[in-house]
């Protein structure tokens, strides 16, 4: 992340190809509120979409997942404004945020 912030790596938009790992990233899937330079490289991102999956196959795993999710939401609150495009998700999680 630091090399992106310092400009050492310029992420092209809408698709970025990593020359080191040969992976391709479709940035609109992850980023919102993107500002671009005149050569279509990302200069600012106002929102990042994060997906995570928790294992609930056993009771102890579900409890561990709930603890992790609470800590994650607490950490996200410190970063800034929270937005959930899904009303049910927003209402369910706003008590944590």
Please give the residue range of the domain that contains residue 44.
Answer: 2-48
Helix H, strand E, coil C: the string for the chain is CHHHHCCCCCCECCEEECCCCCCEEEHHHCEEEEEECCCCEEEEEEEECCCCCCCCCCHHHHHHHHHHHHHHHHHHHHHCCCCCCCHHHHHHHCCCC
Quick check: 85 pLDDT over 70? no
Tally of domains in the chain = 2
Residue 53 lies in a domain: no
pLDDT of residue 48: 86
Tokens 């992106």 sit on residue: 4
Shared domain check, 66 and 43 = no
pLDDT at 14 over 80: yes
Q: pLDDT at residue 30 above 80? A: yes
Q: Which two tokens stand for residue 62?
A: 């579900």
Is the pLDDT reported for residue 91 higher than 80?
Answer: no
Do 23 and 9 touch, CB atoms closer than 8 A?
no
């Amino acid at each position: 992340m630091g090399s992106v912030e310092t400009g050492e790596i310029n992420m092209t938009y809408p698709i970025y190809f990593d020359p080191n790992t040969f992976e391709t990233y479709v940035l609109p899937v992850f980023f919102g509120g993107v500002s671009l330079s005149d050569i279509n490289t990302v200069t600012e991102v106002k929102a990042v979409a994060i997906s995570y999956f928790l294992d609930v196959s056993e009771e102890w795993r579900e409890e561990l997942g709930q603890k992790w999710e609470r800590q994650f939401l607490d950490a996200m609150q410190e970063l800034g404004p929270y937005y959930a495009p899904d009303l049910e998700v927003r209402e369910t999680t706003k008590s944590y945020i």
